[in-house]
Amino acid sequence: MRHPLALALAAGAAALVLAACGSDGGSGPTAEPTSVGGQAVCDEPTIRAAVQADFEANYPGSTFVALEDFTCDGGWAMANAEFEASGSTFPTVVFLRAEGQFWVATTIEQICATPQAESGLPSDMYVDACGVE
pLDDT of residue 38: 65
- Answer whether residue 10 is part of any domain: no
pLDDT tens per residue, range 70-127:
999 999 999 999 999 989 999 999 999 999 999 999 999 999 999 988 988 999 999 9
pLDDT of residue 21: 36
Task: Indicate the Cα dihedral angle 68, 71, 72, 73, nearest 10°.
Answer: -160
- Answer whether residue 31 is part of any domain: no
pLDDT of residue 30: 34
Burial 42-73 (b: 16+ CB within 10 A, else e): beeebbbebbbebbeeeeeeeebbebeebebe
pLDDT of residue 25: 38
pLDDT of residue 112: 94
- Answer whether residue 1 is part of any domain: no
Residue (of 86, 88, 82) closest to 51 by Cα position = 82
- Answer whether residue 70 is part of any domain: yes
Provide, for the chain, the percentages of residues in helix, strand and coil under a 3-state DSSP scheme, each rounded to the nearest 5.
40, 30, 35
Other CB atoms within a 10 A radius of the CB of residue 37 amount to 7
Range of the domain at 56: 44-130
- Answer whether residue 30 is part of any domain: no
Instruction: Please report, for the domain that includes residue 109, its CATH number.
Output: 3.10.450
* Domains: count for the chain: 1
Question: If pLDDT is split at 50, 70 and 90, which confidence band does 61 have?
Answer: confident
- Answer whether residue 48 is part of any domain: yes
